[in-house]
Amino acid sequence: CSEPLPAKNIILVGFMGSGKSTIGRELGQLLSYPLIDTDSKIEENEKLSVADIFSLKGEDYFRESETLTVQQLISDGLTHHIIATGGGLPVRPENRPLLRELGYVVWLDANTDTILERTSRNSNRPLLQTENPRATIEKMLAQRNAIYQEVAHLHLQTTGLNIAETAHGILESA
Ligand code: S3P
């Protein structure tokens, strides 16, 4: 699925550890577009880490904050930005048309081994603090891959690609 790169924004979606923040920074540098990270925006607003929001206020509160954040970005009339989203942001059905309205949606797809390796380095991912993170990842991917497919204008397999190759893959497919 590849559609033209709009003048608007580039939205990166995909599972935790799929490289959204890293590729977002690279694209931001290549295009001179500022990078907005929805997790960071929520953390700034709440003055709490994602992990603390989950434990103190609950996942539903976090999901509501994600929807409000996307609505805010749309009403700001944002253009020429890279937006890296939290891995669960497209899960709420009402968020998917909002993401597509906001810009060109790219699904960064990565395999379980890559995700496991990257996410094990960082503990700010409450949903993966389980006894068997591999099984958790596999179960969540089985639920989410169809969602990422539905929301994305472009599906990019990133396994085996380095940062520059992935970023150029996005720009070339557009
Ligand atoms: C989540 C992904 C995280 C963060 C939160 C929930 C998810 O963002 O929003 O821990 O449900 O997949 P990253 O994808 O940036 O890790």
Task: List the chain domain ranges.
Answer: 9-173
* Confidence at residue 174, expressed as pLDDT on a 0 to 100 scale: 73
Measured CA to CA, the distance from residue 10 to residue 102 in angstroms comes to 8
Please write the tens of the pLDDT for every residue from 153-166: 999 999 999 999 99
The whole-model pTM stands at 0.95
d(CA 166, CA 162): 6
The Å distance, Cα 33 to ligand 1 centre, comes to 23
Task: State how far Cα 146 lies from the chain centre.
Answer: 15
Q: Specify burial of residue 56 (Cβ count, 10 A radius: 0-12, 13-18, 19+).
A: exposed
How far is the CA of 55 from the CAs of 16, 40, 42, 59, 127, in angstroms? 18, 17, 15, 8, 11
Q: In 3-128, where do the E strands start and end? A: 9-13, 35-37, 82-84, 103-109
Residue 128 CA to ligand 1 center (angstroms) comes to 9
pLDDT of residue 2: 47
Q: What is the CATH number of domain 9-173?
A: 3.40.50.300
Intervals of the chain under pLDDT 70: 1-7
Q: Which residues of 35-53 are buried (b: 16+ CB within 10 A; e: fewer)?
A: bbbbbebbbeebebbbeeb
Residue 119 alpha carbon, nearest atom of ligand 1: 16
Task: State yes or no: 100 annotated in a binding site.
Answer: no
